[in-house]
Amino acid sequence: MCHSNVRKCLAKNLSTELQRERMDTYISTADPSVLLCLGMTAAFGIITFYKAKKNQVEKRCISARGLLLLFLLEILCFVMLKSYIGLILFSMACLICNIYLSVQTMLPVDNKAVLITGSDSGFGHALAKYLDNLGFVVFAGVLNKNGSGAEELKRSCSQRLCVLQMDITSSAQIKEAYLKISEMVQNTGLWGVVNNAGILGFPADGELLPMSVYKQCMDVNFFGHVETTKMFLPLLRKSKGRLINISSMAGGIPMTRFAAYGASKAALSMFSGVMRQELAKWGIKVAAVHPAGFKTCIQGTSELWAKQEKHLLENLTPDVKKDYGEDYIEALKNFLLHMPVHSEPDLSPVLDDVLHALLAKSPHGLYTPGKSAYLTLCIFCYFPLWLYDLYIGKLQSNKSVPSALRASEAKNKNT
C-alpha cells in the first residue's frame, strides 16, 4: 500500500515536471511569436480604449466588443499547435477590429440640417427634440402646424428648429416645404432626410381590412416617403448626406393582423435597399430602421378605434361577417389595448440608431432597435418557417376564434 502511494507521488511529480518542461520549451521556441502577439494585444487594447474615449457620441459596446474579440482570438493564438498560425489569425482579428472601430467613428454635428417628417408625436417628435439639443438645424415636418405637438416643439426647442406644415400625402405641401428648406440651406444642401411619418390602421385579419385601409397605409407609409425622397434628393446630393427611412419590425417579417401596415413598411424597406445601392455613387448613404415595439401614439385613440371598427364592419360582405362574427371583430380591439402594455416607453434606442445613421462615417444599412427585433428577424431568415410561425404565434397569442371555426370545432366534438 505504502509502495503504491510512493509510486503515485513520484508519477505525479514527474508529470508536473514534464508539463513545466513542455511549457518552458514552448515559450522558448515560440518566444518571438508570443512576444509579438502580446505586444499587438497591448497596442490594440490602448487604441481601442482611446477610440472609445474619443468617440463620446457612440460609446455603446465599442471597447467591450473589441476587447472580447481580442480575448477570444488571443486564446486561439496560444492554443494553436503552431504559433505562427495563431499569430496570423490574431493579426486578422486586429484588422477586423480596427475596421469595426473605424465604422463607429462619428462626424461632428456642425449645424448639419436635417428634415424629419411626422414630428407631431412619437419617434419624430422625440427625434426633433433630441437632434435640436445636439446642435442640428432641424426642419420638423408636421401634419398639423397648429397642433399640440407642433406647439410643444416651438416652445421647448431652440430657434434653430423650424416647424413646417407637411402632409406627405400632399404633393403641394411637400414642394412648399422643399422650397422653404432649399432657400434656407442654399448651397450647403440638406444633410439628412428622416422619413418617419406613418399610420398603423386598425390591426385585423387581412381578409377583414377594407381596401381603403390598404391604400391609406401605402399612401402614407410608402408613396409619401417616396415622393418626399425624390423631392429632396437634389439637396442631399449637394451635401452627400443621409437618407433614413423609419420602417418597422413588421416591414421585415410577417406578423398577424398587420397585412396592410406590414406590406407598406416592407415596400419602404425594399425601397431603402434599392436606394442604398443606387445612391452610393452620389456619396449618399441610406439606412432603414426597423424598431420593435415602442410606446408611441401610432395606435391612435379609443375614438379612432371605434370609427375604424365601424368602417371595417360596414365594408364586410355578409358571408365574411357571418364566418368571423362580430364578437371576433370586437375582440380585435383588445389587441390595440394591450399594445402599449407590451411596448417599451424608452425611445432612446431608436434615437441613438438614427443618430448613428446620420453621423457615422460608415453607417449600417439596417438598424433593429428594441428587444427581440434582431432575434425575430434572424429566426425568420435562418430557421424553418414552421418554427418562425410557432414563435410569432406565441408572441401574438389570441384566444379569440372566428365564429365559423368555433361552430366547426363544436360539430367535430359532438360527432
Report, as residue numbers or ranges, the catalytic residues: 261
Alpha helices in 104-189 (DSSP H): 122-134, 148-156, 171-185
Q: If you ran DSSP here, which 8-state letter would residue 249 be given?
A: G
**One-letter identity of residue 63:** S
Alpha carbons within 13 angstroms on the beta-carbon side of residue 244 total 33
d(CA 47, CA 95): 12
Cell digits of residue 314: 360596414
d(CA 253, CA 138): 32
Q: Which of 75, 72, 78, 50 minimizes the C-alpha distance to 62?
A: 50
- Which 3-state string (H, E, C) describes 185-202? HHHHCCCEEEECCCCCCC
Cell digits of residue 34: 508570443
C-alpha torsion angle, residues 396, 399, 402, 405 (rounded to 10): 110
Other beta carbons less than 10 A from residue 15's beta carbon: 10
Taken in order 202, 205, 209, 213, the sign of the CA dihedral is: positive
- From residue 50, alpha-carbon distances to 44, 46, 66, 349 in Å are 10, 6, 12, 24
- From residue 405, alpha-carbon distances to 207, 258, 361 in Å are 15, 21, 55
d(CA 128, CA 118): 10
Helix crossing, 83-103 with 62-79: angle to 10°?
Answer: 170
Q: Which of 122, 111, 229 minimizes the C-alpha distance to 177?
A: 229
Chain position carrying cell 441610406 = 286
